[in-house]
Amino acid sequence: MNLLFIISILFCLFFSNIILLPLPFNQYAYMLAREQIRQHDRGVQAQNNLNSKEKVVNLYLELLQAKEYINTKNYFYPSRPIETELENIIKSSFYQFLTLLPKGGNLHIHEFQVLDRKLLLESIKNSPEYDLLYICDQNDCIKNKYHLRYYKDNVPSGWTKVKDSNWTISDIIKKTTLTGILNELKTPIYSTDTEGRWNVANQYGVFNFYDDLIRYNVTRFNYMKLVLDQALDENIQLLEFRRGFFGKLFYFDANGLRIPINESEELDLLLKFKQDYILKNPKFIDFIFLIYSTRQLSKEQIKIDINNLINLQRTYPDFIRGYDMVGEEDQGHTILFHSDSLMNAFNYSKTSNESFDLFFHAGETNWPENHLPSNYGDGVSTFENIYDALVLRTRRIGHGLSLAKRPDMYEYIRERQIAIEVCLASNQILGYVADLRSHPGIVYHRSGIPIVLASDDPGSFGYNQLTIDFYLATMAWGLNLADLKQFAWNSIQYSSLLDDRKTEGFRKWENQWNLFIDSSYTLACNQTFPNVIMNISDILPSYGPYDRSINVTLFGSGFEIAICKSIICKFGEKETNGIFLDINEIICPTPSIHNDLSTVPISIVINNETFQSGLNYKFVSSLSVIDD
């Protein structure tokens, strides 16, 4: 078969036969064809869904983003290890702007890995608990060195009272967060050494740091309050926590003994805490729990876990909404290995009145499917967890990196509306994606798979909540406001909230969104640009038919001065209304009828000020183009 013919068939298939491209190639036909492809692409990107105010805020976002691209041109943070770039990112004004964006929910976070260490430690320092705080820092402290624990008396050897020591909060953070530890290693770990990075995290107990502190009921509820307050500060209104089983909480009695609080007491306290919190903070939507086991556990243990979970879930159907298995996927057991017990969980979900689902971490791997199984007893490799998660009707997929190799499955996932929880910073720090410009999340999003941005273990990594991930995605993928709005919307739509709560969730988020748009719109329109000079560098096409209107694109720089202002395009003396497309492009429709075949100068008028382009447009008589 003729090669050209095959290419043209593939081309048509790719664009779903929607686009017929004009030919023959001349500048006019070329620009018509280009416009058609861009229209199609913009349709996919849903930019058209923004209202007029949002379109202005989108330009403002684009302007801030463009400044950040200039500032980071030779040192682009999303392409460098986050452990070295964290401070630079947080200082940037673009990050500060993204803090204000109403992000909806954070749907993939491990409850005791969320909060920035600094916030909890400062709050303990200002509380009576500081007197009880000890650090495991002496030579005979081997396991979990530099971890903290409360003691009233009987302090074992190896532990030092923090209050009486030289330890500062920032020193403790350096020793116990993954970014802190990676930065202090004598031999750096390569940015794609996934196993090496996980090993460091496990060896230093990075993910267990809060373990003892949050078992003490006073600190536990302080921790929760700080997490929720910080979420609201970053404009996150909904949290779906992954966490292990309940029932490890304690309080100190008068004699300093640890008295356990059982799981239903703990859950009742949490429910009461939640009610009070929402009463005081009515814009907060909800927090719920997805309970997990460690995937490395035996079949017997997972079976016991799931039976316990089912019993507990029946009593707290609004609070405990699902089940997952966690831990390094390449080292732990596969979903297939535990499938007998997981089928039980699935069968139970069908009887739970939609109050319970499975939410699997799956495809957090770079290995292909024919890679070795990780453990004795696992018949398949990590890659295949994606298949088993789908078999068990997972509501969402945590990470899903391996799907990058399987675009043939996108339609299946799209049709079933399974959202992917994309955690950029986590994927980078754990060595899965070194340069976030190549993170597959953008492919899923542009392919119409719903994605949500989530942060996994930010506190243990060394920062707070979710804005970091929004910064990395927006910069690395070149996102616009419509994309960010879509992610926020997805985080409510694909949350585990039941329908009536979801409606309320949307209402609360939309309120915040509208406030954000109003204040950003004001900021956008109050800008002044004393040092910006507008320059029109090119117009395309530079000729077109005299008897009908076409869109001519003006390319250039400094167009930001037109934000919030009306743009008049002038073809000689004839005027049309210009459209501000982005900070480098203005669209000028030609007049619908131009009586003579002439060449005219193009200028634009912004708020009564005229800018000459120095370029001409030519009206011609016959331009025959045919569709390809």
Question: CB of residue 601 vs Zn ion: minimum separation in angstroms?
Answer: 60
Q: Which is nearer to Zn ion, 214 or 290 (CB)?
A: 290
> Starting from the edge strand earliest in sequence, which strands make up the sheet with 574-577, in order?
543-545, 609-620, 599-606, 567-571, 574-577
The residue whose two tokens read 């199609």 is 40
Q: Which is nearer to Zn ion, 47 or 382 (CB)?
A: 382
Q: Which is nearer to Zn ion, 217 or 294 (CB)?
A: 294
The pattern of x and - marking residues 118 through 157 that bind Zn ion according to CB under 5 A reads: ----------------------------------------
Q: Which residues contact 168 (CB under 8 A, 6 or more apart)?
A: none
Q: Which is nearer to Zn ion, 383 or 521 (CB)?
A: 383
**450 to 509, contacts with Zn ion by CB under 5 A?**
456
**157 to 176, contacts with Zn ion by CB under 5 A?**
none
Q: Which is nearer to Zn ion, 29 or 109 (CB)?
A: 109
**10 to 49, contacts with Zn ion by CB under 5 A?**
none
Number of residues that bind Zn ion (CB under 5 A): 1
Q: Which residues contact 121 (CB under 8 A, 6 or more apart)?
A: 169, 172, 173
Q: Which is nearer to Zn ion, 116 or 560 (CB)?
A: 116
Distance CA 35, CA 25 (A): 14
Q: Which is nearer to Zn ion, 322 or 591 (CB)?
A: 322
Question: CB of residue 533 vs Zn ion: minimum separation in angstroms?
Answer: 49
Question: CB of residue 491 vs Zn ion: minimum separation in angstroms?
Answer: 16
Q: Residue of minimal CB distance from Zn ion?
A: 456
Helix axes 82-91, 93-100, angle to 10 degrees: 80
Contacts 24+ apart (CB under 8 A), 603-606: 603/569, 603/570, 604/536, 604/554, 604/567, 604/568, 604/569, 604/570, 604/578, 605/567, 605/568, 605/570, 605/575, 606/534, 606/561, 606/562, 606/565, 606/566, 606/567, 606/568
Q: Which is nearer to Zn ion, 22 or 400 (CB)?
A: 400
Question: CB of residue 398 vs Zn ion: minimum separation in angstroms?
Answer: 5
The pattern of x and - marking residues 399 through 438 that bind Zn ion according to CB under 5 A reads: ----------------------------------------
Q: Is 194 helix (H, G, I), strand (E, B) or coil?
A: helix
Question: CB of residue 361 vs Zn ion: minimum separation in angstroms?
Answer: 5
Torsion angle of the four alpha carbons 373, 379, 385, 390, in this order, in degrees rounded to the nearest 10: 170
Distance CA 482, CA 50 (A): 6
Q: Which is nearer to Zn ion, 294 or 551 (CB)?
A: 294
* Under 8 Å between Cβ of 232 and 287: no
Question: CB of residue 227 vs Zn ion: minimum separation in angstroms?
Answer: 16
Question: CB of residue 110 vs Zn ion: minimum separation in angstroms?
Answer: 6
Positive/negative CA dihedral, 378, 380, 384, 387 = negative
Question: CB of residue 486 vs Zn ion: minimum separation in angstroms?
Answer: 22
Q: Which is nearer to Zn ion, 94 or 287 (CB)?
A: 287
User: Residue 398: what residue type?
Assistant: G
Task: Indicate whether 330 belongs to the interface with Zn ion (CB under 5 A).
Answer: no
Question: CB of residue 472 vs Zn ion: minimum separation in angstroms?
Answer: 17
Question: CB of residue 198 vs Zn ion: minimum separation in angstroms?
Answer: 12
Output the DSSP codes for 219-245: HHHHHHHHHHHHHHHTTEEEEEEEE--
**440 to 459, contacts with Zn ion by CB under 5 A?**
456
Torsion angle of the four alpha carbons 485, 491, 497, 503, in this order, in degrees rounded to the nearest 10: 0
The residue whose two tokens read 């950029």 is 424
> What are the tokens at 446?
């542009």
> What are the tokens at 610?
């005229």
Nearest to 109 by CA among 227, 195, 205: 227
- Give me the count of residues in the chain: 628
* Binding positions for Zn ion, rule: CB under 5 A: 456
